[in-house]
Structure 1
Amino acid sequence: MRRDIQPNERAFSSKEVAEEVGIATPTVRKYGQILERNGYEFFKDGDRRIFVQSDIGALIALRDTDKPLDDTAKDLVYQQKERLKGSDETEIKIPDTYENLPHDPNQLKEILMFLVNELAATREMNVQLTNDMSQLKITVSRLQQDHHVISSSIGNSAQKTSC
């Protein structure tokens, strides 16, 4: 399990990463699969990868390599494991009270930007989930109609056979 996210670190969707790195969204997914197959760990929201800056660096390394992708992925996995060794011991302290909140406007702005980015990513995921749910409802409706047609056909066949 990854524990290396930095406080206020921005999270990126596959689409945002594709734009940032200059590759197609399916290529982001392909590179993600190659990395995972070799042991790389991503932050996940269900089955969806959530990318942070270090992940973008890994994707750029895959994009720019002259070596076979799996060889580069193995190198990147080794680098990630080395980086994660130290982060296992680090805990992020969350203030218990509002009195501990920063008063520096730049820090407050940074926190607000983090929240805005998280909210935007959440909204994007909600839109995708809503679309997926609509597709599932359509599919279930079609399956129910098909079931009704098949059941009716079986019933008609049984009546013809018994006559």
Structure 2
Amino acid sequence: MRRDIQPNERAFSSKEVAEEVGIATPTVRKYGQILERNGYEFLKDGDRRIFVQSDIESLVALRDTDKPLDDTAKDIVDQQQERLKETFETDVSLPDTYESLPQDPNQLREVLMVLANELAATREMNLQLTSDMSELKVTVSRLQQDHHAISANVGNAAQKTNAKIERLTNQQKEQYETLLEQEKEKSERLQQEIQYLREDQNKEWRHQNDFNKRLEEAIQRTNSKNVWEVLLSLFRK
């Protein structure tokens, strides 16, 4: 059990230690395994190592050593054992608490009442912390539900938007195809009308040519005195 750690001493993660020492995170794990193999004691949360300042100093010593890592690790373990031993001796040398208790029953009763009040306050604080933890769990659960609801709403909104876009696209496509068909029909009708006009014009040209030809032939067959009679005969035909 580590006794050299202060109550409010800062703890570091492997990533923070790597940045502090200037080595890679896998190297931090490697150095930790070497130290533990030689008897070094880390503060742990399950299987995860929790580093304090003295542990960082040990890793720096491994990083900067010129000796084999296991030899340096043994020296570091010896230093840790000495430090833990000094801490233990300091704890044992503290005066016995019971010897400092007052001998007067009234004073002793007052001390016990103070301790009882402190114990009750501690229990009340624990109950409050338990209640706060329960409320926090409920809040987290609600936030998760809200997150799922928001995600579902966003998904539904996206589906509706995509469906609307697809529907509008299909409508525009149908309108375009309808207009295109209408323009095609108009173009065909216009071409037919143009063809009819061309045929009528050709007929008129043929009639005119026939008339001119008959006129020329008639003029050639008659003399100038009978020109008007020939013209009248042509119009009668």
For 1:35, the equivalent position in structure 2 comes to 35
Residue 90 (structure 1) aligned with residue 76 (structure 2):
no
The higher radius of gyration belongs to: 2
Q: Deviations over 1:2-49 (max 9, x none)?
A: 111013210001110000000000000000000000000000000000
Q: What residue in structure 2 maps to residue 45 of structure 1? A: 45
AA of the residue aligned to 2:65? T
Aligned length: 94
Runs of 4+ more than 2 Å apart: 88-91
Structure 1: which amino acid aligns with 2:91? T
Q: How does 1:44-63 map to 2 (within 5 A)?
A: 44-63=44-63
Alpha-carbon deviations, 1:122-163, whole Å to 9, x = none?
xxxxxxxxxxxxxxxxxxxxxxxxxxxxxxxxxxxxxxxxxx
Amino acid in structure 2 at the alignment position of 1:31: Y
Q: Deviations over 1:51-110 (max 9, x none)?
A: 00000000000000000000000000000000000222439xxxx58xxxxxxxxxxxxx
State the match for 2:177 in structure 1: none
**Which structure 2 residue ranges, 5 or more long, are not aligned?**
93-117, 120-237
1-side partners of 2:91 and 2:49: how far apart? 23
Task: Indicate the percent of aligned positions where both proteins have the same amino acid.
Answer: 84
For residues 86 and 62 of structure 1, the distance between their equivalents in structure 2, rounded to whole angstroms, comes to 23
Match of 1:17 in 2: 17
Alpha-carbon RMSD across the aligned residues, in angstroms, is 1.9
Alignment TM-score, normalising by the size of structure 1? 0.54
Structure 2 counterpart SS, 1:90:
helix
Query: 5+ unaligned residues in a row in structure 1: which ranges?
Result: 98-163
- State the alpha-carbon separation in 2 of the partners of residues 87 and 46 from structure 1: 25
Higher helix share: 2
Structure-2-length-normalised TM-score: 0.38
Equivalents in 1 of 2:47, 2:9: separation in Å?
21
Report the secondary structure of 2:73's partner residue.
helix
Q: Partner of 1:44: helix, strand, or coil? A: strand
